[in-house]
Structure 1
Amino acid sequence: MAELTLRAAGRARADLVWSRYTTYREWPRWSPQIVRVEAPGERVAAGARGTVRSLPGIAVAFRVESVDEERRRWVWRVRLGPVRLRLTHEVRALGDGAETSLRIEGPALAVAAYAPLARLALHRLLRP
């Protein structure tokens, strides 16, 4: 198993970044590989299960482990066939903008393959 933490900072306010992170319909707007999210409710919630539809026709199952609104932190597990990743997202206020981090845990090859897409998504997430 491998672990990688990515960080990015930008000019978007922390509350806006947190809302983008936790509202399913927002995900395709900042994450280029996501087409849509199929899940109960509109926002991430502990115990929620669903599917992320990605290009080209990939369906990734997920389960949200925890959400901490006060700390702006949430954790989920994703599964694509036999590959499983655990992802921890955090948002912090940083001056006039925000900083976000993403810790990816899973098989080394999967972590390495996902990192470039995740890095791009984080930078788009932080745009004002």
Structure 2
Amino acid sequence: MTRLRTTQTPSGLRLEASQVLAVAPETAWDPLVDTTRWPEWSPVVTAVEATDRRVCEGTTGRVRTPGVWLPFRVTTCSERRWTWRIGGVPSSGHRVDDLGPQRCRVAFELPLQSAGTAPICLAALERIDELLTDD
């Protein structure tokens, strides 16, 4: 079940798009931090060039979206949560919450000024669910 709600995060008040998945948290975390896998689940990222295959604080690079390459920098990365800036603008946070054996919540934390990207995030969550269910 996908869900949208406003919530307080370490980055402040955000609109959270989330979905509960029937997989271990580590399984859901992998496609979020493996830059080579972003095009598999993102509706708008078609290619990635990054300094690191697995994101960590300070990873930089660029993502190709329809018609344009945009630079990015990962600003924070901790236990199952990372945030980034795209084109110098704060963008979505990515998080996986452990909900017990073979159950987790994948969440995108959107700055309120980016609430218009919620449909893209909801589509990404569905793709992640399909990708991990097919594995």
**TM-score over 0.5 (shorter chain):** yes
What's the counterpart of residue 67 of structure 1? 77
| TM-score normalised by the chain length of structure 1 | 0.81
* 85, 89, 106: which one aligns with 1:77: 85
1:91 is aligned to 2:99: no
CA distance in structure 2 between the aligned counterparts of 1:126 and 1:86, rounded to whole angstroms: 22
* 10, 15, 18: which one aligns with 1:4: 15
Give per-residue Cα distances to partners, 1:13-64, cap 9 Å, x unaligned.
2111111100001111111211111111211111111111012x22221110
CA distance in structure 2 between the aligned counterparts of 1:40 and 1:49, rounded to whole angstroms: 6
Which residue identity lines up with residue 45 of structure 1 in the other structure?
C
Q: SS where residue 59 of structure 1 aligns?
A: strand
Which residue identity lines up with residue 105 of structure 1 in the other structure?
P
* 102, 115, 120: which one aligns with 2:118: 115
The CA deviation at 1:76 is 0.9
What's the counterpart of residue 105 of structure 1? 111
Identity %: 30
Q: Structure 1: give runs of 5+ residues left out of the alignment.
A: none
Which residue identity lines up with residue 81 of structure 2 in the other structure?
R
Aligned length: 118
RMSD over aligned CA atoms reads: 1.9
Query: 4+ residue runs of structure 1 moved beyond 6 angstroms?
Result: none
What's the counterpart of residue 59 of structure 2? 48
For the 8 Å contact 1:98–1:126, the answer to whether it is kept is: no
CA distance in structure 2 between the aligned counterparts of 1:92 and 1:3, rounded to whole angstroms: 16
What's the counterpart of residue 128 of structure 2? 125
Q: Which moved more, 1:37-46 or 1:3-12?
A: 3-12
Q: Structure 2: give runs of 5+ residues left out of the alignment.
A: 1-12
CA distance in structure 1 between the aligned counterparts of 2:20 and 2:129, rounded to whole angstroms: 7
CA distance in structure 2 between the aligned counterparts of 1:41 and 1:13, rounded to whole angstroms: 24
